[in-house]
Amino acid sequence: MSAVSSSVAKPLPFDEDFIRQLTEKYPTPFYIYDERAIRENARRLNAAFAWCDGFQEYFAVKATPNPHILNIMKEEGFGADCSSLAELVMCERVGITGDDVMFTSNNTKAEEYAKAVELGAIINLDDITHIPYLADSVKMPEQLCFRYNPGPLREGNTIIGKPEEAKYGFTKEQLFAGYRQARELGAKRFGLHTMVASNELNAEYFVETARMLFELAVELKKETDISLEFVNLGGGIGIPYRPGDQPVDLEHIGNGVKKLYDEMIKPAGLDPLNVLMENGRCITGPYGYLITSAIHEKHIYKDYVGVDACMANLMRPGMYGAYHHISVLGKENAAADTTCDVVGSLCENNDKFAIDRKLPKVEIGDLLVIHDAGAHGHAMGFQYNGKLRSAELLWKPDGSVQQIRRAETLDDYFATLDF
Check: CB of residue 52 under 8 Å from CB of residue 274: yes
Percent of the chain predicted with pLDDT > 90: 93
Helix, strand or coil, per DSSP, at residue 367: strand
Residue 95: is its pLDDT beyond 60? yes
What's the pTM value of the predicted model, to 2 decimals?
0.94
Split at pLDDT 50, 70, 90, the class of 158 is very low
Domain boundaries, the chain: 4-33+286-414, 35-284
Q: Is the pLDDT of residue 2 over 80?
A: no
CA distance 221 to 214: 11
CATH number of 35-284: 3.20.20.10
**Residue environment code for 156-174, b if the CB has 16+ CB neighbours within 10 A, otherwise e:** bbebbeebeeeebbbeeeb
189-194 vs 326-328, strand pairing mode: unpaired
> What is the phi/psi pair of residue 100, to 5°?
-80, 0
Using pLDDT thresholds of 50, 70 and 90, give the confidence band for residue 165: confident
Q: Catalytic amino acids? A: 347
The reply to whether CATH 2.40.37.10 applies to domain 4-33+286-414 is yes
pLDDT the model gives residue 167? 86
